[in-house]
């Protein structure tokens, strides 16, 4: 059915572009989830997308979001075991992001600058016939994603807390009992953590001469510096010591790094509160980054990568149309979300907020380039 929607800034004519997902679950199973929101054991349910139905395992996901009325979900496909090449997907509530778009905007931005990043799309979720609102469906970063992208297999390790800072010390400046504190294997074997342990050890113990010679054997430095530029541009305060995954390619043995959970970006923190555009320094912060940027040729490479991104990708001209398109897809469905009080005017305000941030952040980073000489 086609309908027209009018607002001060937008006119929408056409079919809804946000796909409808329906989850059906035994009320007893739902009560089981609600009784202990921290349980990580999936319960049986059915997911219907269009005319297709899939048997799934369902559980709540996330940390702070589990305490909110609008919860996020993790879905494991059981029958069939894969759908569109995925065995697992995430449905994120994006509850603290009034725009509902910061996560997707960030992950798509990383994808454009050449950093492996989960793909995502907005959907309209129903649970046992009740509309739960607009959600962001996210790919799981796992072996199935590697297969879909025709990438070499290799271990995938998640940075699951703030101890994942590539340091001998934890955030409280105390010596770690284990160098792989803060990391969890997503795909691979326990022994794969020993390779990560070696990377962290060499980062903290090798002489400058030996580190410079050996680091490229263990880390795709150019890819890492592109990721660093992406975190710095989007200003993810957590992104340097959390909210990332490491993927060790079997063909080279080198690690690549990918972003995850980027709703606290584009001028706001993870609670949705404004952050000054100069809150995060141009060099970011973690031990591995600090070690790399000590060397002039790595610093120059980072400067060249960041400069190119600031000229082509992180610009008001490039991003305005992308933000507009995202908001236009969401606006016709905003009134269906029972947990948010957003409108076309709300999104227009957020667009202006984001554009101001992009302009100010870009100007700040260009001024700070002198620190990379």
For the segment 128-159, what is each residue's pLDDT rounded down to a tens digit?
A: 999 999 999 999 999 999 999 999 999 999 99
Q: How confident is the model at residue 10 (pLDDT cuts 50, 70, 90)?
A: very low
Identify which of 330, 355, 354 has the alpha carbon closest to the alpha carbon of residue 344.
330
pLDDT tens-digit map of 237-246: 889 999 999 9
> Quick check: 6 pLDDT over 50?
no
Q: Determine the pLDDT at residue 5.
A: 38
Q: How confident is the model at residue 1 (pLDDT cuts 50, 70, 90)?
A: very low
- The full set of domain ranges for the chain reads 3-142, 152-319+354-372
Q: How confident is the model at residue 75 (pLDDT cuts 50, 70, 90)?
A: very high
Q: Determine the pLDDT at residue 86.
A: 97
> Quick check: 13 pLDDT over 60?
no
User: ∠ CA(120), CA(228), CA(271), 5° rounding?
Assistant: 55
152-319+354-372: CATH number: 1.10.1070
Task: Please check whether residue 371 is in contact with residue 283, taking contact to mean a CB–CB distance below 8 angstroms.
Answer: yes
SS3 44: strand
Structure tokens given for 248: 């060790």
Q: Determine the pLDDT at residue 91.
A: 98
Count CA atoms within 13 Å of residue 51 on its CB side. Answer: 0
SS3 142: coil
pLDDT tens-digit map of 85-128: 999 999 999 999 999 999 999 999 999 999 999 999 999 999 99
> Quick check: 9 pLDDT over 90?
no
Cα separation of 101 and 105, whole Å? 6
Q: For residue 257, what are the β-bridge partners?
A: 246
Who's near 202: CB < 8 A, 6+ residues apart?
210, 211, 214, 215, 218
Going 187 to 242 to 150 to 192, the CA torsion angle's sign is negative
Location of structure tokens 């006119």: 11
Q: How confident is the model at residue 16 (pLDDT cuts 50, 70, 90)?
A: very low
Q: Determine the pLDDT at residue 320.
A: 97
Q: Determine the pLDDT at residue 103.
A: 97
Q: Determine the pLDDT at residue 373.
A: 86
Task: Please check whether residue 330 is in contact with residue 18, taking contact to mean a CB–CB distance below 8 angstroms.
Answer: yes
pLDDT tens-digit map of 194-240: 999 999 999 999 999 999 999 999 999 999 999 999 999 999 988 99
pLDDT tens-digit map of 320-349: 999 999 999 999 999 999 999 889 999 999
Mean pLDDT, the chain, whole residue set: 93
CA 105 from centroid of its chain's CA atoms: 9
Share of the chain above pLDDT 70, in %: 96
Identify which of 361, 345, 337 has the alpha carbon closest to the alpha carbon of residue 274.
361
Cα separation of 273 and 285, whole Å? 21
SS3 247: strand
pTM over 0.85: yes
């Amino acid at each position: 059915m086609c309908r027209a929607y009018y607002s001060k800034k937008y006119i929408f004519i056409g079919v809804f572009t946000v796909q409808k997902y329906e989850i059906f679950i035994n009320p007893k199973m739902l009560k089981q989830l609600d009784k202990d929101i921290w349980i990580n054991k999936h319960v049986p349910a059915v997911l219907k997308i269009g005319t297709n139905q899939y048997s799934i395992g369902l559980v709540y996901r996330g940390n702070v979001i589990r305490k909110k009325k609008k919860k996020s979900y993790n879905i494991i496909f059981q029958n069939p075991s894969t759908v569109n090449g995925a065995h697992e997907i995430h449905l994120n509530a994006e509850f603290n992001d009034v725009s509902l778009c910061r996560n997707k905007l960030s992950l798509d931005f990383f994808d454009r600058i050449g950093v492996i990043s989960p793909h995502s799309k907005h959907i309209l979720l129903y649970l046992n016939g009740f509309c739960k609102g607009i959600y962001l469906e996210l790919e799981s970063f796992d072996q199935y994603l590697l297969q879909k992208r025709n990438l070499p297999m290799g271990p995938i390790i998640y940075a699951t807390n703030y101890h994942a800072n590539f340091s001998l010390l934890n955030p409280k400046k105390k010596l770690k009992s284990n160098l792989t504190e803060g990391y969890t294997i997503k795909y691979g074997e326990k022994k794969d953590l020993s390779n990560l342990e070696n990377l962290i050890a060499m980062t903290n113990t090798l002489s400058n001469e030996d580190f410079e010679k050996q680091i490229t054997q263990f880390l795709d430095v150019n890819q890492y510096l592109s990721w660093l530029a992406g975190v710095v541009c989007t200003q993810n305060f957590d992104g340097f010591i959390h909210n990332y995954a490491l993927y060790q390619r079997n063909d080279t043995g080198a690690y690549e790094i990918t972003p995850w959970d980027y709703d606290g970006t584009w001028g706001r923190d993870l609670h949705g509160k404004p952050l000054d555009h100069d809150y995060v320094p141009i060099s970011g912060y973690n031990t591995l980054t600090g070690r790399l940027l000590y060397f002039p040729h790595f610093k120059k490479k980072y400067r060249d990568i960041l400069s190119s991104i600031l000229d082509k990708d992180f610009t008001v001209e490039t991003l305005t149309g992308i933000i507009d398109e995202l908001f236009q897809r969401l606006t016709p469905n905003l009134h269906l979300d029972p947990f948010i009080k957003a409108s076309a005017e709300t999104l227009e305000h957020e667009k202006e907020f984001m554009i101001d941030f992009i302009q100010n952040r870009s100007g700040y980073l260009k001024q700070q380039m002198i620190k990379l000489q």
